[in-house]
Amino acid sequence: MALFEYLINGLLFGATYSLVAIGFTLIFGVLNRLNIAHGATIMVSAFAGAYVSLRFGGKASYGVLVAAFVVSIIVGALLGILVRTVAFAPLRNASPLAPFVTSAAVTLILEEAFVLISRRVPLFSPEFTQFPSPLENLVFFAGPVLIRGVYVVIFVVAVCLMALLHWWITWTRTGRAIRSVEENPTVSWLLGINVRRVEVTVFAVASAIAGAAGCLIGVAMGTVGPFMGANLLLTGFVIIVLAGLGSLRGAMICGLIVGVIEMTIVGLVSASMKEAVLFVILFAVLLVRPQGLFAGPEARRD
């Protein structure tokens, strides 16, 4: 029965990993570059949400929780645009590794900045800052299986966001432009698509999703910290490689799978083993299917 509980809670919480990975893979799909600052965006957004919750009494108010969620999304989007402006735009013609380094630098700056902020802002705490929410002690019992209410809320919100994103990418004019740029930026530019605008939009949307993920994870954990994004970045990286780089559908599904694996390993063995197990699985999958589980066949032209 404990195993069933881990599976259910892992599936529900895994939706946040899907959100983390979607934002990560969306940017990679358009720019063909990894945004290492994605984890830091999650962290800063989570702090923004926690600030709102702490400042306005979020422990007992669903209204404040919604406000914290909205603020996290807005902060994420703005930070994404800033990261693109600082770490990616000036390096358009540089080596592909250059934005990797600059976005890593942005990560370090933001993490160290929040270490200092955590010490100086009285609402925050040096090691970790609480993220109070009315969902903290909400639990449901399905027979002997305990399900945390916050995980159910996270799952519902994350699935709604993913559905909205899927609709936006598939059916809107901007979504088609994004897919076109993903396919071939040069041809897209020749066809009259404003590639720079698409890049800004993708950074804003991907980082807004990261902001949502940061808020949801902060609420689920009950705390946020300056280095929380680094762990999530690694998990997000495993997911997008497992799914196939650039595959949105794969990132959504693999996020859930990773959530289940993680929760089960933590429950049955130890949290210290979860990364090791994830990487063993990643290694095994890459041996069998190097392009990832959900990457489509690559078209080649002679």
Partner 1 sequence: MCEFINKRGMILRSMAVGLAITAAPVLAFQSEGTVRIGLMESQTGTFAPFGLPGLWGSLIAIDEINAAGGVTIDGKKVKIAVTPAPNGHDAGGDPAQSILLLKRMQADDKVLMIKGMSFSNAGMAVYNYLNELEKEGNPIVVHSSAVGAPGLSKISKWGFRNTFSEVDVVAGVAAAVQKRTNAKTAAFFITKDNPYFPAIADQAIIPALKKLGIEVKVMTDAVTSDRDFTRQVDQMRAVNPDLVYVLATTLPAINFMKEAKRRGLAPKAFIGGISQLTAETLKSGGDAVDGMILAGSFDAASPAVKGFADEYKKRHQQDISLFAVNGHEAMYLLKDAIEKSGIKNTPETLADDRRKFRDAFAKASITSVTGEKIGFNDDRETPKAGVHLSIKNGQFVPWPGN
The answer to the question of residue 85 lying near partner 1 (CB under 8 A) is no
Options 22-30, 71-79, 127-135, 239-247: segment touching partner 1 (CB under 8 A):
127-135
The answer to the question of residue 113 lying near partner 1 (CB under 8 A) is no
The answer to the question of residue 266 lying near partner 1 (CB under 8 A) is yes
The answer to the question of residue 271 lying near partner 1 (CB under 8 A) is yes
Nearest approach, Cβ of 186 to partner 1 (angstroms)?
37
Nearest approach, Cβ of 2 to partner 1 (angstroms)?
6
**Structure tokens that stand for 118 in this block:** 């955590």
The answer to the question of residue 200 lying near partner 1 (CB under 8 A) is no
Which residue of 4, 127, 164, 196 would you call a contact of partner 1, by CB under 8 A?
127
The answer to the question of residue 230 lying near partner 1 (CB under 8 A) is yes
The answer to whether residues 294 and 253 touch, using CB atoms and an 8 Å cutoff, is yes
The answer to the question of residue 119 lying near partner 1 (CB under 8 A) is yes
The answer to the question of residue 270 lying near partner 1 (CB under 8 A) is yes
Q: Which is nearer to partner 1, 132 or 214 (CB)?
A: 132
The answer to whether residues 277 and 261 touch, using CB atoms and an 8 Å cutoff, is yes
The answer to whether residues 108 and 229 touch, using CB atoms and an 8 Å cutoff, is no
Q: Which of 207, 174, 168, 177 is nearest to 81 (CA)?
A: 207
Burial 225-255 (b: 16+ CB within 10 A, else e): bbebbbebbebbbbbbbbbbbbbbebbbbbb
**Structure tokens that stand for 153 in this block:** 């809320």
Which residue of 8, 9, 20, 219 would you call a contact of partner 1, by CB under 8 A?
9
Q: Which is nearer to partner 1, 202 or 232 (CB)?
A: 232
How far apart (Å, rounded) are the C-alpha atoms in residues 269 and 258? 16
Nearest approach, Cβ of 7 to partner 1 (angstroms)?
12
The answer to the question of residue 125 lying near partner 1 (CB under 8 A) is yes
The answer to the question of residue 93 lying near partner 1 (CB under 8 A) is no
The answer to whether residues 216 and 1 touch, using CB atoms and an 8 Å cutoff, is no
Which residue of 66, 94, 163, 268 would you call a contact of partner 1, by CB under 8 A?
268
How far apart (Å, rounded) are the C-alpha atoms in residues 146 and 138? 10
Strand partners for 145 = 142
Q: Which segments of the chain does DSSP mark as H helices, in order?
A: 2-31, 38-55, 62-83, 97-120, 149-171, 173-183, 185-190, 195-221, 228-243, 248-268, 274-288
Site for partner 1 in 148-167 (CB under 8 A): 148
The answer to the question of residue 145 lying near partner 1 (CB under 8 A) is no
Nearest approach, Cβ of 194 to partner 1 (angstroms)?
38
How far apart (Å, rounded) are the C-alpha atoms in residues 69 and 92? 33
Judged by the rule CB under 8 A, the positions of this chain that interact with partner 1 are 2, 5-6, 9, 59, 108, 112, 115, 119, 122, 125-128, 130, 132, 136-137, 139, 146, 148, 221-223, 227, 230-231, 234, 263, 266-268, 270-272, 275
